[in-house]
Amino acid sequence: MMDQEKISQLSDIAKAMVAPGKGILAADESMNTVGKRFASINLENTEDNRRAFREMLLTAPGEEQYISGVILFDETIRQRTSGGKSFVEVLRAGGILPGIKVDQGLVSFNGSEVEKITKGLDGLGDRLKEYVALGAKFAKWRAVITISDSTPTPENIVQNTADLAQYALLCQQAGLVPMVEPEVLLDGNHSLQKSTEVLEQTLISLIAELKKAGVALEGTILKSSMAISGKNSGVKDTPAQVAEATIGVFKKVLPKELAGVVFLSGGQSELQATENLNAMHQLGQLPWPVTFSYARALQDGATKTWKGNPDNLLAAQRVFLHRAKMNSLASQGKYQPDMEQGFSAAAGGAATQD
Ligand code: 13P
């Protein structure tokens, strides 16, 4: 059991992460995933280019109006801007909370061709201590749940959610707010109903495992996917359909004590991710703060504008700030499509994230 003082410190951090009108930038792509993003703009995947890319995003002036926290990758939490300031200092100066991805990617589950579990529990306690010393205030662990004709299996859901709970407990013991991310993948041709059912099963198991492990929910942030038809289903759900299905599950299974929910974008386009979040807030007052923690849906347009060319830095930051502002408005149900005028947000979803 954690003492009350520790829980209240975690709860304060968690509340700041989901403060009204703000959300989280996920900038924690692995080297491999950054490589895919860079390939789309013909940029070499070098340490210096990754540093410049993160500098573009993390130094956009005024982003603290919309962004409460940034999830960093291990390399980035140790890097400095071209001006010599550590990225952690840059974020702190803007009152933005530094976070860190602590999982170590996916491996096959029980020899399955389809299902995965997440690596990274070995030695995690020691790594968390180091990240705290480097200035991290919260952490992220991503598990994936795959929908196909034969999956997800109940065993895979239990293993993934039990690992998320173990990670969450270690985080809280180290003084970090755990962001627990069981991502139900968008890939596949499944229906909205199937996605909704799998989201529900996954979250029921997650909450049960968190409680069993003694994780304090008031110091925990859920990072969830939305209930949405599969990418290859040929069906485009309306924002109202996505919102009703997703919030319907949340209201059924999430306890009130949970500090907040943030969404991943999961391959939705920038506009779709904003519209869907906005629609959640058209449903009236929600029992928890609900906001964004997007990677692709915050970065795509800015990345394409930047292209690795320093001359495009300010234009790229403008695109990024616009997207952040649109999502900030969506997190309050105040977004309208005509606010996009003058900006061409990326319409198509990007390749996979890890
Ligand atoms: P996407 O928004 O690109 O899905 O990434 C969010 C994330 O952090 C996935 O772990």
**Average predicted confidence (pLDDT) for the chain:** 96
Nearby residues of 88 by Cβ (< 8 Å), 6 or more positions away: 72, 77, 98, 134, 135, 136
Q: Give yes or no for residue 353 having a pLDDT over 80.
A: no
Listed residue (142, 106, 287, 324) closest to 223, CA to CA? 142
**Domain residue ranges of the chain, discontinuous segments joined by +:** 4-351
Question: Which CATH fold topology does 4-351 show?
Answer: TIM Barrel (3.20.20)
Q: What are the pLDDT digits (tens) for 216-274?
A: 999 999 999 999 999 999 999 999 999 999 999 999 999 999 999 999 999 999 999 99
Q: For residue 313, how far is its CA from the centre of ligand 1 (angstroms)?
A: 23
Q: For residue 296, how far is its CA from the centre of ligand 1 (angstroms)?
A: 7
Q: What are the pLDDT digits (tens) for 291-315?
A: 999 999 999 999 999 999 999 999 9
Of all atoms in ligand 1, which is nearest to the CA of residue 299? 3
As a whole-number percent, the residues of the chain with pLDDT over 70 amount to 97
Of all atoms in ligand 1, which is nearest to the CA of residue 297? 2
Q: What are the pLDDT digits (tens) for 252-264?
A: 999 999 999 999 9
Residue type, 126: D
Which residues are registered as beta bridge partners of 25? 70
For residue 152, give both structure tokens: 């997800």
Instruction: Say how far apart CA 218 and CA 216 lie, in whole Å.
Output: 6
Q: Judge residue 306's burial from the number of C-beta atoms within 10 Å of its C-beta, 0-12 exposed, 13-18 middle, 19 or more buried.
A: buried
Report whether residue 181 contacts ligand 1, using a CB cutoff of 6 Å.
Answer: yes
Q: Give yes or no for residue 2 having a pLDDT over 90.
A: no
Listed residue (346, 345, 316) closest to 59, CA to CA? 316
Listed residue (91, 69, 85) closest to 13, CA to CA? 69
Q: Give yes or no for residue 354 having a pLDDT over 80.
A: no
The H or E element containing residue 70 is: strand 67-72
Q: What are the pLDDT digits (tens) for 169-180?
A: 999 999 999 999
Test site for ligand 1: of 264, 296, 320, most ligand atoms within 8 A of the Cβ: 264
Residue type, 238: T
Q: For residue 264, how far is its CA from the centre of ligand 1 (angstroms)?
A: 5
DSSP conformational letter for 98: E
Q: Give yes or no for residue 39 having a pLDDT over 80.
A: yes
Residue 27's CB is within 10 A of a number of other CB atoms, namely 21
Question: Residues for the chain: how many in total?
Answer: 354
Instruction: Say how far apart CA 212 and CA 197 lie, in whole Å.
Output: 23
Q: Which residues form the catalytic set?
A: 181, 223
- Tell me, what's the pLDDT at 1? 61
